[in-house]
Each structure stands twice: as C-alpha cells, then as structure tokens.
Amino acid sequence: MNLIWFLLRSSWLNVAIAGVAGSISGVCSAALIASINTAIRASDPELSQLFLRFLGLVVAALATNLISQFLLSGLSYEAVYKLRLQLSNWILACPLRHLEEQGSNRILATLTEDTNAIADTIAVVPFLCIDFAIVVSCLVYLCWLSWSVFLVTAGLLVGAMICIQLLVATAYGLLERAREEQDRLFKHFRAITDGIKELKLNVQRRQAFVAENLQRTAAASRRYDTTSMRILGVSLGVSQLLFFVIAGFLVFGLPRFTSVDVTVLSAYILVVTYLTDPLQRILQILPGLSRGSVALQKIEKLGLVIASRSEEILAQPTTLNFRKQICLVDVCYTYQQESGENFTLGPINLMFHPGELVFIIGGNGSGKSTLAKLITGLYVPQAGEILWDEQPVTDKNREQYRQLFSTVFSDFYLFEQLLGIAPDLLDTKAQNYLEQFQLNQKVKIDGDRFSTIELSQGQRKRLALLTAYLEDRPIYLFDEWAADQDPSFREKFYNQLLLELKRQGKTVLTITHDDRYFHLADRVIKLDYGKLV
Ligand SMILES: Nc1ncnc2c1ncn2[C@@H]1O[C@H](COP(=O)(O)OP(=O)(O)OP(=O)(O)O)[C@@H](O)[C@H]1O
C-alpha cells in the first residue's frame, strides 16, 4: 500500500483523474458484457439499437482506458524521477557518520536496486487500476443480475483470494530476505572491484572469497528468490483453477440447491470467464507491488529522511568569516561498535587562530582523522561544543561552518571536473598551480575538466591540493598529504607551500608523521589513544 501512497503523494490530482477514467473504462467494459448478454436474447428490432450502444461503449472504454494509462504512466515515471533526485539529496544532506554506519554497499544497493524495483513496479500500476475497475464493475453487474447467486460466487471468490493472498504474503517475506542478501552481495561486489589486485595475487584467498562469501550469499539470494517465485507460481495456478471451480459450481452445483434462471446462469458464466484475465493480471501484479514495497521499506529503513533533516542545509553559498578563533571545548566522540570495542576521542580542548600552522601527530589509531572530522564539522561532537568566533556551532550553522575548510583527507575523492569554481579562476590560477605542482606536462584543464585523472597516487594528491587551493577557504586541513610525495616535493610542501598559506593568513592544520619538519609548526598537537598529550 505504501507504494500507492508514494504515487498519490507525487500528484494526487492526476491520480484522481486517472482513477476516474480507469473506473469509467472498467464500468464500460462491464456494460459491454451486459449488452452482449442482452443481445444474445434480444429480438431483431432491438438489435440495431443495442449495436449502437455497443459501439458507443467500445469507444468510451477505449478512450478512458487510454486516458488513464497515459496519465498514470507519465505519473509513475515522474515519481521515480523525483525519488531518484530526492534520494540523492537526502544522502547529500545526511550526517557523515550516519552514512558510514549504514555502509556504502547498502546505500549503493538502494540507489540502484531499490529505485529500479520501484520503477518496474510503478510501471504496472496503470494496468492494475484499470483491471481493478473492471473487476469491481463486473461484480456490481453480477449483483444486479441476481444477488443470491452473487453472494455464493462472491463467497467462493473471497475464500480463494484469501488463500492466494496467504501464499503471496509468504512469498513477500522471502523476497524481503532475498533483498537483505542483495545488500551483502553488493559488499562482495565491492570487494571484487576494490580488492581485485589482492584477489588476483593469492589463489587461496580468491577461492575462499568466492566459495565462502560470494557463492554463499549469491546462493542464499537465489534460494529465497526461487522459492518465492515458486510460491507465486502456485498462487497463479490456484487462481487459474479458481475460475473453473466457480464456473463448475455454477453449472453443476448451484442448480441442485436452488432454481436459477438459465439466462442469469449463462450471463454469470460469461462474466466469470471475462473476469479471468483481469483477475489473473491483478494477482500477477500484486507480487510485483510487494517487490516495490520491499524496496520502499528498505529506503525507509536507511533512515535517510530523518537523518537528512537533522541539520539545516544551505540553499546558497554564503560569505565566510573567520576572524578570531575556533575553540573545541571538552569535545568527545565515541565510535559505538557492535563488537563492543568502543574508541573514545576526548575530552579535547583546543583553539585555532587565523594564520596559524598546526601539526597534528600521533600513532596509528590515536584518533587524528577522527579529530579532523570533528574540527571540520563532518562529525558532530557527542559531548562538548565547538565555538566559531565565539558562536557555538549547532545544527543551524554547521553546514555554513563546514564551508570554512578546504581539505585533502587521506581517503580523498578526486572529481574529474572542477565543480563550483568560477571560470576566471580556472583560466588563470588553475594553470599557475598546475605548473607550481609540476603537473603541467601531464594534465591540462579543458574548460572545467582535468584532461585526465589516471595518474599516480602522488600526482592525484597534487591535483586534490590544486582543487583545495582554488577553493581558497580560510582554513586548510591536510591528512598525511605528503605521505605519497617524492622527497623534493615533500620538502617543497612543508618548506614552501605550507609557509606560503600561513603568510596569506590561512590557518593550516596538517596531520603528519614527518618529524623532520615538526620545527616549522607554530604548534604540534599530539594524540595518544584518543587523548591530547
Ligand atoms: N568508521 C569507523 N567506525 C568505527 N570505528 C572507527 C572508525 N574510524 C575509526 N575508528 C576507530 O577510531 C580509532 C581512531 O581512528 P582514526 O582514523 O581517527 O586514527 P588515526 O590516528 O587517524 O590513524 P592513522 O594514523 O592510522 O590514520 C581507530 O582505532 C578505530 O578503532
């Protein structure tokens, strides 16, 4: 049902018009059956008038059917289009930690599998509406013919439908489990693409990965899918049998209990036979609706909607001020892990001023990157607060606060395009930086696009640095930037680039292990297992 609500929310007026047109189409179809039934028993003079009525009904049924399908098809794809954009916006507005907890494989599965499942399902909704209208109208006609026979027929129909729906519900549960397995499968697919080198270089690892992870999950997904499809097949078979059972009961059974007019009986057989197709289609489409509903539920379970509303999102970039200091006051952050092994950073008390060069050092796993995510506003402190020029950073201004920073994290992402950067900067400054970072032989800037990003890791980091320079924010944060650089460029980074940024009045925070250059910093902050030392 939530799928129908989802459609209704997209444009209730179009749904209403399509619903009315579909209902008229269904009523006309039932009226066509009724007029065929009357024509069989009619005398010659009545036939010409009945024929005209028949023609009129054919035209009306066709026209309203087309209107309904046309409107609903447009609407379905509009709804999917909106859903795709909305989902992406929700993800973009979600706090980073929430997305990390959900895992990229689940998010990817939602963006691809779930939206496709919804698109496929929604495409059949128009047919469902029309078939539903036909069934209801035919039932009304049957009731008008003879309510006592109708009660018996309807009783049989309802009983059979309940059986079928029980089967469909079982299949629905299995489909849900198949979808859970697909999340896991996505994780393994990522392991294949991201870990291809490690898998190629070690046959035992590859075989174990395929046998224990990939094959097992794929097999479980196949098992659930196959069983659910088999159950749906059984439900289809039962539904086909249903019509013979009803027709058989009307012809052989009912006359034994009560006297039934032969014309009523033949009309009933005609209508029940006619109903076979739309009813079967409905029963076939319903499982599809289940698939779409499972997909919608998956999207809801990700909690993107609620999480994305937790902080205010800027509609337009605003001017950035950083005049006095950024203060971390008793800031704490704990990773809650299912294994129970929690890591806590803090309480941290720190202050950063404009024009300061600060090095953040510490052993592996001491919390440097976590601190960087807290300072840049990507993580929200669980205790304590951050003050920006004496104003607390809250859900209302966190997005604005984040715009103070240009960063190159150790797991940075390099966009092929220089997005959101003024074209005049691209023509002048970008070219200079390419030369300064010794990349001009390798990379060109065509419009707002790098000619290539197929580069060594060190070169890609230089391009990321170029992007950060073009952003020209008051605070720069580099997470082990120099780790992949050759000695001469590393020297240049510490002795020239960082000092130049400082001279320009930028605050530069650098996570580093290069103790040869610690003397250059105004301050060195050391972390040891989440505490400042
Ligand atoms: N996404 C995460 N989920 C759960 N725990 C995490 C996550 N990221 C880090 N941790 C935990 O936080 C601790 C600190 O990690 P962090 O990445 O901040 O350390 P680091 O000092 O930057 O390490 P390195 O020098 O190796 O980059 C780790 O020991 C780990 O237990």
* Span 180-238, pLDDT tens digits: 888 889 889 989 988 999 999 999 999 999 999 999 999 999 999 999 889 888 887 88
Whether 4 shows a pLDDT value over 70: the answer reads no
For residues 36-45, average pLDDT: 80
The ipTM, to two decimals, is 0.97
The CA 530 to ligand 1 mean position distance, Å, reads 10
Per-residue pLDDT of 316-369, as tens digits, reads 777 678 888 999 999 999 998 777 778 999 799 999 999 999 999 999 999 999
- Ligand 1 atom with least separation from CA of 337: 4
Mutational test site, ligand 1, from 339, 343, 360, max ligand atoms within 8 Å of CB: 343
pLDDT, mean over the chain: 86
Whether 76 shows a pLDDT value over 80: the answer reads no
Higher pLDDT, 20 or 314: 20
Mutational test site, ligand 1, from 360, 370, 407, max ligand atoms within 8 Å of CB: 370
Whether 1 shows a pLDDT value over 60: the answer reads no
100 in contact with ligand 1, CB cutoff 6 A: yes
- Identify which of 374, 289, 282 has the alpha carbon closest to the alpha carbon of residue 332: 374
The CA 299 to ligand 1 mean position distance, Å, reads 28
Protein residue with least CA distance to atom 7, ligand 1 = 335
Protein residue with least CA distance to atom 3, ligand 1 = 335
| CA angle in degrees (0–180, nearest 5) for 397-107-381 | 30
The strand pair at 449-450 and 507-511 is best described as: unpaired
Calpha distance 392→396 (Å, rounded): 10
CB atoms within 10 A of CB 121: 26
Burial status of residue 317 (CB atoms within 10 A of its CB: 0-12, 13-18, 19 or more): exposed
Task: Grade residue 240 by pLDDT with cuts at 50, 70 and 90.
Answer: confident
Mutational test site, ligand 1, from 98, 102, 335, max ligand atoms within 8 Å of CB: 335
| CA angle in degrees (0–180, nearest 5) for 324-327-331 | 170
The strand pair at 383-388 and 391-392 is best described as: antiparallel
Residue 140's contacts (CB-CB under 8 Å, 6 or more residues apart) are 30
- Ligand 1 atom with least separation from CA of 370: 18
Q: Can you tell me whether residue 42 is helix, strand or coil?
A: coil
Say if residues 358 and 372 touch (Cβ distance below 8 Å): no
Whether 449 shows a pLDDT value over 70: the answer reads yes
- Ligand 1 atom with least separation from CA of 97: 1
The CA 365 to ligand 1 mean position distance, Å, reads 5
103 in contact with ligand 1, CB cutoff 6 A: no
Tokens 């440097």 belong to which residue? 368
